[in-house]
Structure 1
Amino acid sequence: MQIIDPLFSAREAAAALHVSLPTFWRRVADGTVPRPVKIGALSKWPQSEILAVIEAAKAKRVA
């Protein structure tokens, strides 16, 4: 059985990261957040990729 990875809109992804939409797009531009999956004109991010951004930030913390 294949597990479906939900897709986030830019607004949903920004909310998950607790950043504004302009900051979210800056992070996409600088490579901190992966580029979107394009579905027609829509830009979507797999939930797993947004969670990976959070995990990467956690790993960079100084203990």
Structure 2
Amino acid sequence: MTHLTSDNLVSVRDIAAVLGCSTPTVWRRVADGSIPQPVKIGGMTRWSKAEIDAFIAQAKSQREAA
């Protein structure tokens, strides 16, 4: 059984599901710099779950500060 930790790498589909958007929207946000850049390993493109969690936490803190 695989246990996920904050060090796991996640796919664009996983990011889209967490953010509640489409995969093209994820790629647009990567291009405009609002979502962290992915890591490329061989033919795979993945994001650090820890970086995505930090991105979401930062967005929440900015919302609360406004």
TM-score bracket, normalised by the shorter chain, equals 0.7 to 0.9
Of all paired residues, the percent bearing the same amino acid is 52
Shift of residue 4 of structure 1?
A: 6.6
Counterpart code for 1:27: R
Match of 1:11 in 2: 13
Shift of residue 62 of structure 1?
A: 4.4
> How far apart in 1 are the matches of 2:42 and 2:54?
25
For structure 2, list consecutive stretches of 5 or more residues without a partner in the other structure: none
| Runs of 4+ residues over 4 Å off in structure 1 | none
> How far apart in 1 are the matches of 2:28 and 2:11?
15
CA RMSD of aligned residues (A): 1.7
For structure 1, list consecutive stretches of 5 or more residues without a partner in the other structure: none
Provide the TM-score with structure 2 as the length reference: 0.80
1:17-37 deviation per Cα after TM superposition (whole angstroms, max 9, x unaligned) = 111111111110011111110
